[in-house]
Structure 1
Amino acid sequence: MIAPREWDAAAAAAYVKMPTDADDKYSRGVVGVRTGSRQFAGAAVLGVCAAWRAGAGMVRYVGPDLVGSLVLQRRPETVLVGGRVQAWVIGSGTSAESREADEEQALRRLLGGVAPVVVDAGALDLASGASAPLVLTPHAGEFARLRRQVGLDESAHDDAAGAAADAADDAAVAETARVLNATVLRKGARTVVATPGGWSAAVRAGTPWLATAGTGDVLGGVLGAILAAHADEIAADREMLGPLAATAAFVHGAAGRQAAGVEAASGRGGHPLTALEVADAVPGVLGALAAGAAS
Structure 2
Amino acid sequence: MIATLGRARNVAALLDRLALQSRLPACVVLSMESAEDAPPARAHPFPLIQLFGPRGSCQQRNRALDRLPPDIDLVLFLDDDYVPSRRLIAGLVHFFVTFPAIAGASGRLLADGIIGPGISPKAAVALVEAEDARNEQPSLSVSAPHPGLYGCNMAYRRTAIGDVRFDENLPLYGWQEDIDFGGHINGPLVYTDAFYGVHCGEKSGRERNGRRLGYSQIANPWYLRRKGTMPAGFARRLILRSLAANGVRLLRPEPWIDRKGRMIGNWLAVRDILLRRVHPRRILEL
| Structure 1 length-normalised TM | 0.30
More strand per residue: 2
The structure with the largest alpha-carbon Rg is 2
| Structure 2 length-normalised TM | 0.31
Q: Which has the higher contact order (CA 8 A, sep 6+)?
A: 1
